[in-house]
């Protein structure tokens, strides 16, 4: 019995220590919660962005960062560009129109199509025109100029020639294919002669290609389809074709009104090899079957760009 007061005091002391420990744990947990909340709030502020002038959060940038990118030139001009938080790991997707650019054609209101280029554009353009006549949905003007090129204005000065054709036909759609005669020709870039595959040559060639596209778009053409070069029987010529195709495709990736139509894979084996049955005796121009493949690819691309019938 003499030990009872002592034992009771010991129990009370243990309870005080336990209560103190619980309060300490509660305090620590509370501090952790506050720290986590503060970090989350700071993250929101960083994502929202701040104006250098005022330090205020830019709400439009936050919305743009959280919303899938709108397509088309109109959307791009209306929405502010969000701040760049880190370098993009991959190229931006190719721009595309905000809505299909072409009215669905009817026999009463067919599409007016200009199909131009060098001699490689000849057979595909002719067969494409036949398809348009049979369906009644297109009126196609074919304009292939043998041995023509973008590197030299002989036998055709393409910018001037194209402008004259557009003044007469007033097409809704432009299709163009050229390049087979170009890689062996010099070009003047800033007054200096340069040869393929010099970077200045490549840049100047793409500039001239873009110029033709601009001429068409400024003259009422709603959509341009640029057909790439096909695989060639010689591997070195195939490599040149692929390099020019890269220029064409790159230009299309920066313009919502220009579409690149691939002809290389279309006329090659699964391993990228040459298919003689699709080419004429010279190995460059097309048989009817090869030409139809290109004509059908252009037709399919156009149909994807039709607005639904009203």
CA–CA separation, 172 vs 302, rounded Å? 11
In a domain, 30, yes or no: yes
Per-residue pLDDT of 97-147, as tens digits, reads 567 889 999 999 999 999 999 999 999 999 999 999 999 999 999 999 999
In a domain, 262, yes or no: yes
Same domain, 214 and 293: yes
Specify the pLDDT at position 236: 97
Per-residue pLDDT of 177-198, as tens digits, reads 999 999 999 999 999 999 999 9
In a domain, 97, yes or no: no
Same domain, 116 and 31: no
In a domain, 139, yes or no: yes
Asked whether residue 65 carries a pLDDT value surpassing 60, the answer given is no
pLDDT band at 203 (very low <50, low <70, confident <90, very high): very high
Per-residue pLDDT of 27-50, as tens digits, reads 544 444 444 344 433 333 332 333
In a domain, 55, yes or no: no
Specify the pLDDT at position 41: 36
CA–CA separation, 34 vs 147, rounded Å? 75
Q: What is the mean pLDDT of the chain?
A: 78
Same domain, 12 and 141: no
Per-residue pLDDT of 264-305, as tens digits, reads 999 999 999 999 999 999 999 999 999 999 999 999 999 999
Same domain, 270 and 165: yes
- What's the pTM? 0.69
* Cis status of the peptide bond prior to 173, with omega within 30 of 0: no
pLDDT-above-90 percentage for the chain: 65
Q: Are 134 and 150 in contact (CB under 8 A)?
A: no
In a domain, 12, yes or no: yes
Specify the pLDDT at position 99: 74
Expressed as residue numbers, the domain containing 268 is 111-304
Q: How many domains does the chain have?
A: 2
Same domain, 187 and 293: yes
| CA 272 remoteness from chain centre | 23
Same domain, 166 and 283: yes
Same domain, 299 and 155: yes
Specify the pLDDT at position 287: 98
pLDDT band at 308 (very low <50, low <70, confident <90, very high): confident
Two structure tokens written together for 73: 């030139």
Same domain, 145 and 290: yes
Specify the pLDDT at position 78: 33
Specify the pLDDT at position 102: 92
H-only helix segments in 96-219: 122-135, 158-169, 199-218
Same domain, 116 and 25: no
Check which CATH number belongs to the domain holding 266 and give it: 3.40.50.1110
Same domain, 9 and 123: no
Specify the pLDDT at position 14: 53
Q: How many CB atoms lie within 10 A of CB 52?
A: 5
Asked whether residue 89 carries a pLDDT value surpassing 70, the answer given is no
Same domain, 122 and 15: no
Per-residue pLDDT of 246-262, as tens digits, reads 999 999 999 999 999 99
| Strand order across the 138-144 sheet | 138-144, 111-117, 173-177, 223-227, 258-261
Same domain, 189 and 288: yes
In a domain, 79, yes or no: no
């Amino acid at each position: 019995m003499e030990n009872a007061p002592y034992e009771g005091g010991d129990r009370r002391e243990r309870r005080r220590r336990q209560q103190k420990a619980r309060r300490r744990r509660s305090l620590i947990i509370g501090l952790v919660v506050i720290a986590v909340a503060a970090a989350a709030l700071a993250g929101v502020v960083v994502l929202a962005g701040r104006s250098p002038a005022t330090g205020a959060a830019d709400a439009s940038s936050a919305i743009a960062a959280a919303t899938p990118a709108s397509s088309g030139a109109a959307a791009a001009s209306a929405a502010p560009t969000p701040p760049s938080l880190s370098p993009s790991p991959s190229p931006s997707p190719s721009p595309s129109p905000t809505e299909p650019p072409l009215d669905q054609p009817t026999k009463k209101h067919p599409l007016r199509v200009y199909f131009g280029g060098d001699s490689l554009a000849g057979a595909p353009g002719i067969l494409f025109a036949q398809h348009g006549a049979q369906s009644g949905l297109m009126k196609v003007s074919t304009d292939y100029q043998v041995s023509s090129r973008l590197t030299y204005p002989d036998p055709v000065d393409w910018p001037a020639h194209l402008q004259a054709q557009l003044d007469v036909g007033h097409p809704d759609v432009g299709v163009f294919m050229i390049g087979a005669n170009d890689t062996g020709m010099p070009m003047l870039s800033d007054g200096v002669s340069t040869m393929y595959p010099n970077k200045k040559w490549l840049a100047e060639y793409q500039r001239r290609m873009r110029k033709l596209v601009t001429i068409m778009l400024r003259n009422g053409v709603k959509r341009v389809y640029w057909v790439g070069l096909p695989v060639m029987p010689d591997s070195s010529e195939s490599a040149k074709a692929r390099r020019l195709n890269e220029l064409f495709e790159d230009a299309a990736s920066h313009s919502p009104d220009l579409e690149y139509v691939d002809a290389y894979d279309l006329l090659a084996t699964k391993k990228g090899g040459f298919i003689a049955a699709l080419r004429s005796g010279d190995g460059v121009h097309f048989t009817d079957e090869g030409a139809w493949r290109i004509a059908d690819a252009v037709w399919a691309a156009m149909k994807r760009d039709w607005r639904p019938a009203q």
